[in-house]
Amino acid sequence: MPELNPQQKAAVQYINGPLLVLAGAGSGKTSVITRKIVWLIRDYGIAPRNIVAVTFTNKAAREMKARVGDLLNGAHGKELQISTFHTLGLRILRDHLEAIGYRPGFSLYDNEDSQSLLAKLLRGQYSGKNNPADAVRRQISLWKNNLVSPAEAPLTTGGESIQDIAARVYGEYERHLQAYNAMDLDDLILKPVRLFQNHPEVLEEWRRSVRYLLVDEYQDTNLCQYELVKLLAGSRGALTVVGDDDQSIYAWRGAHPENLKHLQQDYPSLKVIKLEQNYRSSGRILKAANALIANNPHIFEKALWSERDYGESLRVLKARGDEHEAERVVSELLQHKFKHNTDFRDYAILFRENHQSRVLERVLRERRIPYFLSGGSSFFDKTEIKDVMAYLRLLCNPGDDNAFLRVINTPRREIGADTIEQLSAHAGELGTSLLQASLDAGIERRLTVRQVAILRVFTHWLTDMIGKAAEEDPAKLVCDILADLHYEEWLKDTCNDLKIAQRRMENVLELVAWIQRLARQDEEDKSLSGLVARLTLAGILDRGNEENPGDLVALMTLHAVKGLEFPHVFIVGMEEGLLPHHQSQSDTGVEEERRLAYVGITRARQTLTFSFVERRKRGGEVIGCEPSRFLKELPPDDLHWEEPDREPDPQAMLGRAEVYLSNLRNTLGNG
């Protein structure tokens, strides 16, 4: 295990007050957090259950937990309170639902569920294609992140901006969530904050429980998360936060890098320790990163340095157009791989916008280069997983109409659109859920005898399962549901290919195994509702955070690559209008785009290559492009610019061919 450097050691052992660890890219911040947790347990005598560490992704939380577990030789594993902000919020709410007007077994809505509810609320005013539900959902999410209540949402009389539409529907959206016993993702932070503000006795109980609090990626916190941290830490300030204002790239979803400044104001005794030694990148890459980010204003000054070699020049490839750019980047990648006998997983191609991946994917496929596109569909996006999760949600919360509508005809039960329409109208008149309306005697006046009979077979089976859910082992309950539904046979009947049906059933069985693992891990809450809430949260938070499943080139956006590193990095589309983005032309917008470029640069360990084009297709037309201003902010002596029409060097081409053949012989020989 590597020794800590003096700054890391000081950060681990400082406990005399609130601490900010300003951790530059690649400076070993995860080591500091994990070692500090171990030090607090072993040397300072705090019980693991009284230490809370929070971060932003399940992947980061799992990695931290595993590292601490290894350092403690496997002791205290189940007691460690290391999680995401949202999982912490879920834990806080679990024992205090009644205080916020909720019942056990509430449903957690993902973005699709929230958008569906908002679309329903806006349907009378907007047609399907023009329904602004997704934009309204994003606006309400920003308000929740900024602690803005429906009563405080700004509204101009008669306005038709997204903000005005959102302000008008925000209160109704909240009332419907409460009526459905449902919360959206933002509520998992907002409702604990409101709980603590309105119930000081609950806050005091939690403060006694949390003797030390650690927060990772602090620059990415929004105002709501900041308030939660401040409430939990209280005046004692038994708090360590780790962050880097140069890597704050999520303002578009509510992050406030200014929270670092607020920390100084709220805790005048705040100690700041800077981690500036980088263990990842060559000296030349760090010099470029420092030069670029020096153009931004700073709350705290710092400069990364490394004991590693100075490294190769940073290459800048000029291409004629986007297709030429993709062909050139892929060719350079392939030549480098064969020359240095590297793996495909050693390479990442990064871009600003998702659409830039299309032409890269096509060229990679043509060259038969395996690749992994980050941000694709997750396990929880699969149809069969959504089906099973909807059944489980409904068993926990019979008022979950979204889940009811998903499963009412899965598998097919001959419950047609007319039945559902009449059922929805009846539920609206009664002010009840769809399940309750289906059990009401009045529904018989709206439906034919046959329609009622088919509907009642389903709803009576469902109510029987709801009764079983309170007593039966969750994994066994899922197996009972699948057996009653003849789900595997239904998959075989509806899939064109038997292998696809088998693969989908394997996914369902993987979900059952996941439920079993969760039930074993959680000592406090093994209930079906607790397991479903954590599974749903995992499904939401893990989207876009999938790991590279093999020896594949990584294709990902600059936002998605944060927290990762690669030996060799290509950043494509270094042009004005793309990076910095044309929608981010204000001073603060350009500063965030510069931080985004900085994040991309600091992912590279050994080599870094940029590319830009002379002309690019955008919105159906071809437009002229200018190199990004960020390229001009890099040290010119460290850049090697390469024109698109350079004359090929026959000797170099011959050398590359020899390397290619040699590697091919080795590969075939090893096979």
Residues recognised as catalytic: 29-30, 216-217, 247, 603
Residue 590 buriedness (CB in 10 A; 0-12 / 13-18 / 19+): middle
Compute how many other C-beta atoms are within 10 angstroms of the C-beta atom of residue 389. Answer: 20
Q: Name residue, tokens 């602090």.
A: 218
Distance of CA 503 to the CA centre of its chain: 26
Q: 544 vs 149, 532, 541, 547, 558, CA distance in Å? A: 29, 21, 8, 9, 12
DSSP string covering 260-288 = HHHHHHH-TT-EEEEE-B-SSS-HHHHHH
Q: 165 vs 61, 132, 135, 171, 176, CA distance in Å? A: 37, 9, 10, 11, 17
598 CB contacts (<8 Å, ≥6 apart)? Answer: 25, 246, 247, 289, 292, 293
Which residue, among 557, 653, 569, has the nearest Cα to 608 in the 3D structure? 569
In 3-state terms, the chain is what percent helix, strand and coil (to 5)? Answer: 55, 15, 30
Sign of CA dihedral 90, 92, 97, 101: negative
Q: Length of the chain, please?
A: 671
Q: If you compute the radius of gyration of the chain from its CA atoms, what whole number of angstroms results?
A: 27
Residue 358 buriedness (CB in 10 A; 0-12 / 13-18 / 19+): exposed
* DSSP three-state, residue 623: strand
> Kind and range of the H or E element at 629?
helix 629-632
Contact 89, 60 (CB under 8 A): no
